[in-house]
Amino acid sequence: MKPALLHSLAAMPARQLNLAAIGTVAIAAALVWTLAIRAPFAALRQQQLRVAALHASRGPVPVPSALPAAALVPPPAAPAPLALIAAVSASAREAGLVVSSAVPGPERSMAGLRQQNLDIEASGGYGAILGWLDGIEAGQPAVGITRVTLRAAPESANRIVQLQLGAYTAETK
């Protein structure tokens, strides 16, 4: 600060100095309110109005219970274990893999679903294995991959994949 300003502030009575300090703080608070707080709240309010207008322009959303029975599609049924083995083996051959074993595993129930496990072992290249796994997930909507183990095949560039599939169906009471 300039010495002349310091000298004039020091010469001011305490009451005037306090009023000047309070005025400076009030001006700074008004500036903060205007720039840092009020503007974002105004932008938020405008965004909320735009969203409300968008929802109003769409019209009423149908309630699921009001949909016709034909619109409700039942979930896909899981294939039988032997059919699943056949489908997975065929897709492995198409991908260029060799299936060495496919064994139905134990069945278990959880959260209203029945899970039938299927253990499969196949060998082939990385790209073929990846394509095969993508094909299983895309072609079997009620089947999930629950475990995958990949290891090198002895004396070969191929890999051995051990795969456990879970076929899910709803439990009937």
Render pLDDT for 129-157 as a digit per residue (tens, 0 to 9).
988 888 888 887 778 888 999 999 888 88
Q: What percent of the chain clears pLDDT 90, i.e. is strictly above it?
A: 13
pLDDT digits (tens, 9 = 90+) for 62-91: 555 555 555 555 555 556 777 888 888 888
Which DSSP string do the residues of 127-162 spell out, in sequence order?
HHHHHHHHHHHHH-TTEEEEEEEEEEPTTSS-EEEE
Give the domain ranges of the chain.
3-58, 81-170
The topology (CATH level 3) of 81-170 is Alpha-Beta Plaits (3.30.70)
Output the pTM of the full model. 0.51
